[in-house]
Structure 1
Amino acid sequence: MRHARNNELTDRRSAAADAKTALLMAYRAAKMAAEPAQAARQAERSSLIEAREARRAKRERLKVEERTRAETVAAQEHAAIEAAAAAEIEARQSAENARISGLVQDEAARKTERDRRYAARKARQA
């Protein structure tokens, strides 16, 4: 009986080893069969990653262009405001100069008129 029991144990051991070997062979066969599909999935993943990176780069480029455009517009507006301020200052200055010139001419005309009246009065008295 003891010998039968050992045979039974060795049978179980060999059956387990055979099963393990069969599983290993099945795994290797499945791995070999799935290798083209895995390569295709990997290629698809890499193409998705490249597309994602291209979209990200495009978004970044658009952001930079928008920021540059906004800075350009802001600089143009700032220059326009400065030009308008300079034009306004020059217009005020020319208006002030014209007013002063007008006052000087009015004063000269009044002095001339006063001198004419004074001369006419002196001529009548003489």
Structure 2
Amino acid sequence: MSAFDFRNFNDRREHSANAKAALLAKFKARPAADDPEVQARAQARAEVARARDERAREREAARLEAERKAAEEKRLREETELAAQIAREAAELAAAQERKSAELEAKKALRDARYAARKAKAKTKR
């Protein structure tokens, strides 16, 4: 409930008129737009906004540069890993080929030894 107790219509109407007059006086007391103090405050706000925008652009540029560097480092790391993997696979392939050729030579040596033994055995029978 209201703290004011207006008993009749005239009192309420007078109170409303006084409140409207106070609001109008408060509005008229504001300095005009061409007042130097108002212009100085507007210019200060504009400077703050420009500085804020510049800092945001700098942060964005720094973020983009960091992302570019990270992507470049990742690409270099992937390239070195790929080169190392290719080298490992080439070494494994060479080792496998060498093992296979050694096995073939060993098999050939065993086959030649069996052949020589068979020939020697045939010579001794005659």
By percentage of residues, which structure has more helix? 1
Matching residue of 1:32: 43
Q: 2:79 aligns to what SS in structure 1?
A: helix
Residue ranges of structure 1 left out of the alignment (5+ in a row): 116-126
TM-score with structure 1 length normalisation?
Answer: 0.69
Q: What fraction of aligned residue pairs are identical, expressed as a percent?
A: 17
Q: 1:22 aligns to what SS in structure 2?
A: coil
Distance 1:55 1:10 in 2: 59
Distance 1:41 1:10 in 2: 40
Q: Would you identify which runs of 4 or more consecutive aligned residues in structure 1 move more than 4 Å?
A: 7-11, 23-28
The one-letter code sitting in structure 2 at the alignment partner of 1:22 is P
Matching residue of 2:10: none
State the shift of 1:86 in Å.
1.6
Matching residue of 1:68: 79
TM-score with structure 2 length normalisation?
Answer: 0.69
Residue ranges of structure 2 left out of the alignment (5+ in a row): 1-13
The one-letter code sitting in structure 2 at the alignment partner of 1:17 is F
CA offsets per residue over residues 19-61 of structure 1, 9 Å max, x none? 3x33866665422123223322321221121011101111111
Larger RCO, structures 1/2 (Cα 8 Å, 6+ apart) = 2
